[in-house]
Structures are given as C-alpha cells and as structure tokens.
Structure 1
Amino acid sequence: MIEDKANSKTENSRRNFIKTTALAAAGFMIVPRHVLGGPGFLAPSDRLQLAGIGAGGKGEGDIASIVRGGKTDVAFLCDVDDRRAANSLKNFPKAKYYKDYRELLDKEGKNIDAVTVSTPDHTHAQIAMAAMQLGKHVYVQKPLTHDIYEARMLTEAANRYKVVTQMGNQGASGDGVRRLQEWYDAGRIGKVHTVYCWTNRPVWPQGISWPSGKAEIPKELDWDLWLGSAPYKEYVNKLVPFNWRGWWDYGTGAIGDMGCHLVEPPFRVLGLDTPISVECSVGSVYVDEFKRAYLPESCPPSSHVILTFAKTQKTKHEVQVHWMDGGIKPERPEELGPNESFGDNGVLFIGTKGKMICETYGKNPKLLPLSRNESDRTKITIPRIVNQEEGHYTQFAEAAIAGYGKMELSSPFEIAGPLTETLLIANLAIRGTDVQRRDAAGKISYPGRDIKMLWDKVNMKVTNFDEVNQFVKREYRKGWTLGV
C-alpha cells in the first residue's frame, strides 16, 4: 500500500489559492543568507544560477522567460540535440553546454540553484527527481510526468527535499482562472455538477502504425540519450522534435499536452482531487473497409473521457468532467447566440443557476449568456500575479531566490501532481480500449471499451480492470531509474 501523504497538504494549498499572499505581488525583504539557512535557500540579494535541461523549442522559451524576470543567470544548458540547443547557446554564450543531464548534475551540481526541465514527457520525472535530490529548485514543463507513479513520487519528493517547484501550466498564474474562482465563490452560477473541456488537438499524427524502415540518425542528435528510459527502438524520421507526442512510449496524447491548461481551471475552482472513476470512448482507425486496427503503441485520433470526482467542499454532489479531443466538442450552450464563438479549445462550467466558459489557460472567462458580463459587478477578491502567464516564470525565480516555503506559487507540485495524476488516469481508460483478451477458442475481445474503471487513489490502481495497471508505473529501460 502506498501512503497518501500529499492529500491534506494539497487541500490546504487549494484553499490558499483564493487568498494568495501579498508576497506574490509585493516582493520580499532582502535578508542575509545565514538567516535563511539550510539546503535549497538562496539569499534574495543573490542571482539565481539556472541550468536549462531541454534548451530548444519550448525549453528555449522557458529559459528566456525566466531570464526576463531580471534575477537569473543561465549558467548551464543541456540538450541531446545540438540543433535544438543552437539558439539558446547563441543567446547565452557564457553558459556551459552538456548533452547528458546526469553528467551536468554530477559535475556542476554545486554551481546550480535551479533547473528547468523542458524535454519530452517520458524524461521529465527522472531529470526532476535527480535535481531535487541535489536540493535544486525545479520548473518542469507540463504534464509533470509520463506516469501516475512518477507524479506521486515527485509530489512527495518536493516536500521531502524542501525545494521550490512549479509546473509549466502558465495559465495557473493568469487572471482568467481567478475571475472564474471569484464568480463561482460569489454564487453566480450556483453549484457546478458538470464540466466540459475540449481541444482541437492532436495536431500531430496519432492512430497510426509505427513507421517501417530505418532512418539515419542526425549527427547532432544523441538518439540513445533521447530515448532515455523508453524501450530501445531504431530511429525514425519526423519523430523528433514534435511528433513523439502521439506515441505512448514518449508522449501522453492530447490530454497530456492540453489537459494541464484546460482541466486546470475546474480543478482549482471546484477544489477537485483525483477522480474516483473514469470511462471513455475513442475514435476508430480502420486498416480496411471492415477491420478496426489494433494500434496499442499510438494514441487514438480522438477521445471522449468522463471523469467522475467525489463531492468537495465547493460542490453539492459528485462532479463529472468531460474531456474531448480530436475536434469533438460538447453541445453548444443554448445561452450562446448562433454567431457567438464557442472556440476550438475551451471549458464550459454548468451549474445549478447558470453557466460560464473560458478558453485555454482560463483566458477570456465569460458568464452565459454573454449579456450578463455587461452588468457584472463581482468584486475582485483574489490577488493577481503581475504579468499573468509571463509572471508564472518570474514567480518561480523569485520563490527560488526567497527559499522553500517563503512564497506562494501558482502550480507547485502539491497542486500540479494531483492534476497530472488526473490526466494520466484518463489515459488509463484511453489505453484500456486497446487491451486485448483471448478466450480458449482464440477469439479476441476488448473488454476495456465497455466499462467504467474504478480508481483507488491510495493504492494507485484500477480495482476492476487489472490489465491497465501496467501503465500506472512503466518499466524503465535498463540503466535508467527514478532514484526512489
């Protein structure tokens, strides 16, 4: 049995969300290092020495955004692909460069204060855990981890090692989710019982067979390091740098990519914890006119997942959250005019007295019908984060400089961990649709396509369909470990 250590701490953090401390907006006093003391503390008069692991693409943006806060020096850069790291190396010529994060942390650990992790999903947990075990503050891109077990371990580790943590769902620092919170707390839509979250993702290939043939590995790419803990496969064209998202060995599909931005608003506003059950349907892929393909390596082209959450202090009954991807959208609200946009990505809250909607990151929150917004006088009660999404990065840097426990953050692992677990529980149901059973006569069935899976949070397992529990904690390739 795995002890649920994070539960009470998570609840306290969520309650504190509606009264973010003045420190988040007003800064902090400069005090000597010896007063702060202990591992993981940095005097506010000092500058944050940052190591950027994953220096290209989103990593390039993450590093630059933290630096724009004005209190960070990029001391080290690390990437398995020299092509992806090129711009960051040009922007930060004084940074020392590594390809293997393990070598970086081993040789330079004493010279690093904080680490950004902006790598493919399947490598997040190992890098973040290694950094935390050295007492380094960590900023990790969404989703926090690839596996449910990894999310739980990182959440517990952040508390154990007393380090500042933040997940890269920058909408958590936006004004939008705070306005939704204020409307809900003021009773503008009554008690929510149903939420719909939808996205037009994936915008990468899904529901396809693994490419045949072997391609030449680019000389700038260390393919073995890129694979990391994933099973070894021969390099194929166009997997790197982006299309890995559609393969279960590396990515977490559309909900892993966008769920941290779209499920996050109801998760916070309603004070949700991990779900108690999950069920789903997925889009089919056919190899010919009559036969559906069996493609367990690849995420499906579309899915509709229903997550049921237990009653919270902010709801009257259980809550259902519907996740829809691949262009599937919920029924258009009757309160929305025929020419009023519903959006390709969004969230719809349905309460006992009304409805409200928002876009990705919680942006552009609106009460329905839209005419209600013109007369709305709901007071601002929750402090805002300066510069909103951009301030998400500054908030992390300032919290790391102040030291563990000195500042509130928008998405520390105690919040980001359970949110990530929730999205990955949804993926259990999605992956379960491809689980095969063969009876004594050799007939194949797919029992996971027609059940509601019951989730045991304490023991991290589905209790009524054991085949999917293999995905709760994957087996790492030989030579790789989470270090717990």
Structure 2
Amino acid sequence: MNQPDKPTGNGTTRRQFIQTGALAATSFFIVPRHVLGGKGFIAPSDKLNIAGVGIAGKGFSDTNNAFNKGANNIVALCDVDWSRDQVKKNFEQHPNAKRYKDYREMFDKEAKNIDAVTVSTADHTHAVIAMAAMQRGKHVYVQKPLTHNIYEARMLTEAARKYKVVTQMGNQGSSNPQQKQMVEWFDKGLIGKVHTVHLWTNRPVWPQGIPVPQADASVPADLDWDVWIGPAQKVGYTPAYHPFKWRGWWNFGAGALGDIGCHIMDVPFRVLGLGYPTEVETSIGSVFLKDWTPEYIPEGCPPSSRVELKFPESAKNKQAVTMTWSDGGLRPFRPEFLPEGEPMPENGENGVLMIGDKGLMVCGMYGNDPKVYTKDGKKFEAAKIQTDGPALPENGHQVLWTEACKAGFNSKEHKGLTSSFDFAGPLTESVLMGNVAIRSYTLRNANANGRGFSYPGRKKLTWDGKNMKITNFDEANQFVSRKYREGWSLTA
C-alpha cells in the first residue's frame, strides 16, 4: 500500500517525519506499535516509500531487498525496457507501484511520495539519476561502479553531503562480516606493513575487444532507446549494446574494472585505509583482425588489461603500496608463504592477495573465505559466514541502507554504513583511475613500422587526486570526465 506524503499531527510531512525523527519531539503519548498491530507489526510511519530505477538484473534484487518483505513500500518502478521478464515480475510483485520509462517524468509526478531511490541502470546513467534524486532530498542506493567516470564520482560524493541524504553503493561485499575479520587481523599486525597488493578477475565474461557493432536493428517496441542512451553520445540501437553487453563499450560501461573492481578493490581499500593513488601504468591485450597489425578500438574496452596503481602510505599502513589489477583471466603467480596444497581464492578466478613484511592475506571477490599465512608458518581462517540475519551481503546491504534512511543523515546508522558515498566515492575514483590509463593507451603513437607502442615520451601517468588531474600527460584528462550530449548535464 502506498503511503502519500500527507501532513502528520505536528505539521510535518510523512517523509520529513522519517528523515528527522520529529515524532520524538511532539508532546503526545506514543503507543507502542505492537499494541496497535500485534507482534511483528510495522507502523506505516516506519516504512520508507522507495522508487526503483532500473528494475531488472541487479535492479530486481536491489528493489526487492530494499522492500524487505513488506518492511517498506515500493511506490514507483521505472525501467526503459518493459519487455524484460524481471521488469514484468517486478510490476506483478508490486501492483500498486506507479510505472514509468523515464525517471525524469517519475520524479516530476511522484517526488512528493518518494523517500528513497535505488539506481541500478547501466553505468553511464548512474550519476544523472542519482543527482536528480539527491537534489530532491531523496536517499539513494546506487549500483557499482558508483559512476561512469571520476568527475561524476566526485560530484555525487559532494552532493550527498550538500543535500544531507543517506547513501550506499551496491558493492554488497562491503557488508560481509568477514571483511571486518580481515580489518581486525591487519590491525593486530598479523601480516605487518603491506607493500604489495594483487587483484584479479575472470571478467570480462561478455564480448569485449571486438569491432564496433553495426547499429542497424530496429528499436523494440517496449524500449525507450533515447532515455536508455541518456547523457551518452547518440548511437543506433543494437542488441550488442542492450541488455548487459553495454559493459564493454566506453560510451556506456566501464569494462571489467568498472564491473567488478568496486567489489575486489574494496577489500584492500578498507583494510589498509587507502586514499587516492598517485601513479598509474597499464598494458592491455591486443586484438589482431589481420596478420601482424594490432587493432586498437578506442570505442571499446580491451580483451584483457593489467593496471599498476601506486598508493602513498596511509595512517593505517605505514608503507607505500603497489597494487596490480589483472583481468581477462590473467592472475598473479602463487606467492611465497602460501603453502603447497592451499588454493588461490575462488579457484583463481577472482581474488585479493595482500603481502606484508610478516605474511600475507588472501580472500575471494567479496572478502569471502579470508585467510592469513604468516612467515613463521601460522594460519588464521575466518569463521564461515552466517546463513541468516541482517548482516548477510545477499540482502543486508540494502536493508542496512533503508534502516539508515529512517534514522537520518546524522545518525549512527548512516555513519555505520560500509559504503556510503564518503567511502564509495574515493574507492570508485581509484577504480576508474585504471580506466583513464587504459583509455589513454589508445592515444599512443606507433613506431615507423606500426608496432611497439608507448605513451608519448612517458611510462606512467601521475595523478593529483585532490584536483582530479593527470599532471604529466594532459591529453589523458579527457577521460577524467565526459562530454554529455545536448540536453543533458550534471550540476549539483
């Protein structure tokens, strides 16, 4: 049942009532909810009115985890493509929710009834949707990566503080209690100061490093292609872009790094207390469409890449860190101190390896199954993750966000969120720093024989994180932000 934004007994609206906790300041007697509605009853004023933008795929689970079996209301659902099975299922499960294809129309008509918004669209529209919600005072949950580029991440981080809204990025592994175990291990000094971090993934698991597809298909009747394109540069429709395969094209996605980097890099970023990197260098896999001559496709992400980021010492880790990211199936070799017979995390497909002067720590993509191996032969293993309860990454990440929304911007619940934009913004910027290097790689100059490429006179890009600027290769700064197509903008 939808809860309209009607005035409460003290003159505030229901949404203001939830955000400020004004009920506690009124003079009338509060009857406990269990007296009114029995055990398990949730008062209507304790429910959030939630709108979902992008409601298939991760959007399906995001909206329904936030709904939390009726603990909150789903009042509006928005998706550009109504033909998808999960969109239809979401409509069926929430028959009273208003339905939209354009989030702008939804906000114009439903803003007064909405408290919070989940954003689970393609990467290139995260920022404009989240900003529009925050400007209207709505709390936001945004899927990873937080944004398509570094500038957008900085804008959303600053806007969240300006509009005083509760925020969370959808890297659900950050709510995995096993990550807390890893922080505790490190803080106890089990592996000492960390100097080297390896991150790796089997992504991409979609076509990538391929020629630009021919956009000659007709737009499906149930798809609003213009809204799907949003602020990106206008191209024709092709099923090679939508659904899902958009990840491999810079116009819409952020490649393997954007897809999974906010999960995997989350672990060392949190454990070591890292900030902005200062240097980045990369190499990428080549595509050969004819003998001997590599094809570099500037519109598309490469089939594989390796990125090296340099981080200065942090307050937690009194040691500079070299972090190496590998995708496309590349992975680090087995490190010293990992005993024979001990497998690499997740069978080598996705993982984190942190090497310190006293030992090493390994885990899977979401911080799963962490272990410590010390130089003196000791092994520490975390307890298995619980199978129920609010802290599970399967639904707890969204549930904890909704509870923080009810408590308000300055609440301990909001401060306790594991991936509010104060954390998720700098993390996303560090992840996307790798994409600046990867995209700059295609700006290279060839030798006379067409082979052997390198940055024009440089081996690394140096980064001024505070000012969001590459300081030694100005041409690379075009990838720090993007040019929006006419009619679209991002202003706080």
Structure 2 counterpart SS, 1:410: coil
Q: How big is each residue's C-alpha offset from its partner over 1:403-462, in whole Å with a ceiling of 9 and x where there is no partner? A: 1111221100000000000011111111111014589x9989854386110001122110
Which residue number in structure 1 is paired with residue 53 of structure 2?
53
Which one-letter code corresponds to 2:102 in the other structure? Answer: D
Structure 2 counterpart SS, 1:256: helix
Q: How big is each residue's C-alpha offset from its partner over 1:255-285, in whole Å with a ceiling of 9 and x where there is no partner? A: 1111111000100111101101100111111
Judge conservation of contact 2:441–2:455 (CA < 8 Å) in 1: yes
Which residue number in structure 1 is paired with residue 355 of structure 2?
350
Structure 2 counterpart SS, 1:163: coil
Question: Is 1:470 aligned to 2:475, yes or no?
Answer: no
Structure 1 distance, partners of 2:75, 2:312, is 45
Which one-letter code corresponds to 1:432 in the other structure? Answer: S
Structure 2 distance, partners of 1:418, 1:276, is 13
Structure 1 distance, partners of 2:62, 2:13, is 31
Structure 1 distance, partners of 2:225, 2:208, is 22
Which residue number in structure 1 is paired with residue 143 of structure 2?
141
Q: How big is each residue's C-alpha offset from its partner over 1:225-249, in whole Å with a ceiling of 9 and x where there is no partner? A: 1111111111112321110000000
For residue 320 of structure 1, the aligned residue among 311, 319, 322 is 322
Q: How big is each residue's C-alpha offset from its partner over 1:72-122, in whole Å with a ceiling of 9 and x where there is no partner? A: 110000000002321110111111100000010111111100000000000
Judge conservation of contact 1:175–1:363 (CA < 8 Å) in 2: no
Structure 1 distance, partners of 2:327, 2:449, is 34
For residue 293 of structure 2, the aligned residue among 278, 291, 310 is 291
Structure 2 distance, partners of 1:83, 1:314, is 49
Shift of 1:210: 0.7
Q: 1:445 to 1:225 in 2, by over 3 A?
A: farther
Structure 2 counterpart SS, 1:356: strand
Judge conservation of contact 1:141–1:168 (CA < 8 Å) in 2: yes
Structure 2 distance, partners of 1:480, 1:385, is 39
Which residue number in structure 2 is paired with residue 41 of structure 1?
19
Structure 1 distance, partners of 2:114, 2:246, is 30
Which residue number in structure 2 is paired with residue 367 of structure 1?
372
Please report the TM-score for the alignment, with normalisation by the length of structure 2: 0.86
Q: 1:88 to 1:35 in 2, by over 3 A?
A: closer
Which residue number in structure 1 is paired with residue 431 of structure 2?
423
Which residue number in structure 2 is paired with residue 220 of structure 1?
222
Judge conservation of contact 1:437–1:444 (CA < 8 Å) in 2: no
Which one-letter code corresponds to 1:448 in the other structure? Answer: Y
Judge conservation of contact 2:358–2:374 (CA < 8 Å) in 1: no
Structure 2 distance, partners of 1:473, 1:312, is 27
Q: Identity over aligned residues, as a percent?
A: 52
Which residue number in structure 1 is paired with residue 96 of structure 2?
94
Structure 1 distance, partners of 2:53, 2:382, is 45
Shift of 1:140: 0.2
Structure 2 counterpart SS, 1:432: helix
Shift of 1:36: 11
Which residue number in structure 2 is paired with residue 238 of structure 1?
240
Structure 2 distance, partners of 1:345, 1:472, is 27
Judge conservation of contact 2:215–2:237 (CA < 8 Å) in 1: no
Q: 1:265 to 1:438 in 2, by over 3 A?
A: closer
Shift of 1:337: 4.0
Which one-letter code corresponds to 1:471 in the other structure? Answer: F
Q: Which has the higher contact order (CA 8 A, sep 6+)?
A: 1
Query: Pairwise mapping of residues 103-252 of structure 1 onto structure 2 (< 5 A)?
Result: 103-212=105-214, 214-252=216-254
Shift of 1:203: 0.2
Q: 1:254 to 1:33 in 2, by over 3 A?
A: farther
For residue 483 of structure 1, the aligned residue among 480, 485, 491 is 491
Structure 2 distance, partners of 1:285, 1:444, is 13
Structure 2 counterpart SS, 1:332: coil
Which one-letter code corresponds to 1:73 in the other structure? Answer: N
Structure 1 counterpart SS, 2:186: helix
Structure 1 distance, partners of 2:404, 2:379, is 35
Which one-letter code corresponds to 1:364 in the other structure? Answer: D
Paired residue total: 447
Shift of 1:367: 1.1
Judge conservation of contact 1:303–1:326 (CA < 8 Å) in 2: yes
Judge conservation of contact 1:40–1:136 (CA < 8 Å) in 2: no
Shift of 1:318: 0.9
Shift of 1:355: 0.4
Structure 2 counterpart SS, 1:68: helix
Judge conservation of contact 2:293–2:450 (CA < 8 Å) in 1: no
Q: Rg bigger for which structure?
A: 2
Judge conservation of contact 1:247–1:297 (CA < 8 Å) in 2: yes
- Could you tell me which runs of 5 or more consecutive residues in structure 1 were left unpaired when the two chains were aligned: 1-31, 379-383
Judge conservation of contact 1:36–1:42 (CA < 8 Å) in 2: no
Tell which deviates more after alignment, 331-340 or 284-293: 331-340
Judge conservation of contact 2:167–2:421 (CA < 8 Å) in 1: yes
Q: 1:314 to 1:213 in 2, by over 3 A?
A: closer
Structure 2 counterpart SS, 1:474: coil
CA RMSD of aligned residues (A): 2.6
Which one-letter code corresponds to 1:426 in the other structure? Answer: G
Please report the TM-score for the alignment, with normalisation by the length of structure 1: 0.87
Structure 1 counterpart SS, 2:427: helix
Judge conservation of contact 1:434–1:446 (CA < 8 Å) in 2: no
Structure 2 distance, partners of 1:35, 1:122, is 34
